[in-house]
Homo-oligomer: A and B are copies of this chain.
């Protein structure tokens, strides 16, 4: 006879500083018999690194190992297809526990629904299993706090952009907003910095690497070295101060 199914939790664990997890996510994390986390092969991954001090040896760790992260593979390989396989397999691993009636906490850096890897598990499992998503502090707001930069005042428009977009699209969108955050820098950095100059925003743009993580680094945008910009770097264009 089948018992009740387990419950799936999508836990935002925050941007990097372990204390930036919420009280609720920490409770759910510590109550979970199984903790699923994304990581590259042979690595711990950021999400697990953030929470590992909170875990007990009794909890089962379930790694979800993702394929190489370059988006250009030689034919006949397709990154999209290899990701589809990865998400399908991850969902199947998690579902095995849920089907046996065991709760699973899937942890996610930042917030689960803000460019988070949990979204692909959610889309595969939320209709089959009871699911609770606990929101988290996203890297954009962590970056603004570290930079001491109020992000948006009153009725200002905020645009969140991926560094993957073209120089032209980035510049157009940056010209047409009052505040912006550009994520996913890494090898896109040089193009993004040029687009910011195209939009006339070089004087207002601020740059931070790995905000709130142990190896956080703040340098002026002009001085960042394109060859060493990590994926977890961010450019913030704060809204102009509203002098109330």
Interface centre among A22, A83, A113, A158 (most CB of B within 10 A): A113
List of B residues within 8 angstroms of A164 by Cβ: 155
Name the distance in Å between A178's Cβ and chain B's nearest Cβ: 10
- A152 CB–B CB distance under 8 Å: yes
Q: A-B pairs with the 4 shortest C-beta distances? A: A19-B24, A155-B162, A119-B150, A158-B160
Question: Which B residue's beta carbon lies closest to that of A181?
Answer: B158
A144 within 8 A of B: yes
Chain B residues contacting A22 (CB-CB under 8 Å) are: 14, 19-23, 137
CA distance A151 to B86 in the complex (A): 21
- Scan A159-192; emit 1 where CB is below 8 A from any B CB, else 0: 1111011000000010001000000100000000
A111 at the interface (CB under 8 A from B): yes
Residues of A within 8 A of B (CB): 12, 14-15, 17-24, 26-27, 80, 83-84, 86-87, 111-116, 119-120, 122-123, 126, 131, 133-138, 141-142, 144-145, 148-162, 164-165, 173, 177, 184, 212, 241, 243-244
In the complex, chain B residues whose CB is within 8 Å of the CB of A131: 148
Q: Can you report 24 A-B residue pairs in the complex whose CB atoms are below 8 A from each other?
A: A18-B23, A19-B23, A20-B135, A21-B23, A80-B244, A84-B243, A111-B145, A112-B150, A113-B149, A115-B152, A119-B153, A120-B244, A122-B148, A123-B150, A131-B148, A135-B144, A135-B145, A135-B212, A136-B137, A138-B141, A155-B165, A156-B162, A157-B160, A159-B160
Copies of chain A in the complex: 2
Q: Which residues of B contact A135 (CB under 8 A)?
A: 15, 20, 137, 141-142, 144-145, 212
Q: How far is the CA of A136 from the CA of B184 in the complex (A)?
A: 21
Q: Is the CB of A150 within 8 A of B122?
A: yes
* Residues B19 and A27 in contact, CB atoms below 8 Å apart: yes
CA distance in complex: A131, B148 (Å): 9
Is the CB–CB distance between A159 and B158 below 8 Å?
yes
A115 CB to nearest B CB, Å: 6
Rounded to whole angstroms, the CA-CA distance of A100 and B21 in the bound complex is 33
| Interface contact A113-B157, CB-CB below 8 Å | no
Question: A24's contact among B17, B184, B243, by CB below 8 Å, is which?
Answer: B17
